[in-house]
Amino acid sequence: MSSRPTPATSSLNLDRLPDVNAATIGILVSMGHFTNARKVDTDIVQTDGEKNLFSLRKRLIDCDELRAVNRVQDRILTFIYAVSVPSFLKPGIHLLPIGLVRESDSRLTEFRDQLASAVGDLVAVWPTRVEAMRSRLGDQFRIDDYPTVAELEAMFSVSWRYLNLGADDRLQTISPELFRQQAQEIADATQETAREIRSLLRTQALTLVSTLRDRLLATKAETGKPGRIHESTLENLRQFLSYEPHRNVTGDQTLSRLMAEIRTSLHGVDIEAVRDDQDFRTRLGEQMSQTVAALEAVVRPGERAIRIRGAA
């Protein structure tokens, strides 16, 4: 366990950024979903207000099997967000670092198998679970709201495909000038994408590091004792650190340097050590504060609300 966190550094230099398309490949992950809600007729609402201002929905199914399916789907999305960066071209298209393609394809295949198993469990009990909702929903139960077993099974597919986001080489044989124009437009758009990616990763790092800093230095108001640190707080940061060298496709040296310092500080540290060693906890919290300050200096205020998905 590291007993003395490394001091943080700070510097920022935004020049023309590397071509992120050269370091990544586009990936589009498609998943089907079951919409587990329907609108309810507002005639059942007793109010003297205008009913067109109200909205009421019913849950169609309440069962552990559907929740298990949804958990696998959440893990798939969480993994994609963890290993890739957004393309900022079209919702759903991500840029997957070349060095993570094999690992990602393997993990997605595993997730697909897990999803198929969970869906199989749901399909096996679907008629029983639907019938159970008849009494729970009362006069709001409508059998037509529910897909058949075959329809349900087809809803929960997951697939992915890899995309070339560069200029289409076939254009060159049609019109070299069109190809040149297209290539230049993509190069210009890629620079903007690179700036967005650099900003995104810095903001994600700031969110994760500041969350850990806050937990390390927090005290309970009523007792003055250190606040509780959840294992997920540490693990979410560790996951970011593990994939950062690949996801840092813009070659952000500031981010690389700061994250390397945190890796050194967290090497060999487990959650129990952080909870039990108050002196180390305080020193680690102070080092995180330095890193937070360095990141805050390079993150624009409007970018600090980016939501971070949890660990896969």
> Rounded to an integer, what distance in angstroms lies between the CA atom of residue 294 and that of residue 285?
14
Maximum Cα interatomic distance, the chain, rounded to a whole number of Å: 75
Per DSSP, helices labelled H in 87-100 are: none
Please give the pLDDT value at position 311. 36
With residues binned 3-state (H G I as helix, E B as strand, rest as coil), the percentages for the chain, rounded to 5, are 60, 10, 30
Contact 277, 2 (CB under 8 A): no
Q: In whole angstroms, what is the distance from residue 127 CA to residue 110 CA?
A: 28
Secondary structure of residue 249 in the 3-state scheme: coil
Q: Which positions of the chain have pLDDT values less than 50?
A: 1-14, 304-312
pLDDT (0 to 100) of residue 303: 55
Given the DSSP bridges, would you call strands 57-59 and 85-86 parallel, antiparallel or unpaired? unpaired
Query: Mind listing the pLDDT tens digit for each residue in 165-212?
Result: 887 888 888 988 888 888 888 888 889 999 999 999 999 999 999 999
Strand residues in the chain grouped as ranges (E): 24-31, 37-39, 57-59, 85-86, 93-97, 158-163
Q: What are 101-110's pLDDT values in tens digits?
A: 999 999 999 9
For the chain, how many residues are written? 312
Q: What is the pLDDT of residue 224?
A: 66
H-run or E-run covering 86 = strand 85-86
CA 294/CA 256 separation, integer angstroms: 12
What's 96's DSSP letter? E
pLDDT value at residue 165: 85
> Given CA atoms 280, 281, 285, 288 in this order, what sign does their dihedral have?
positive
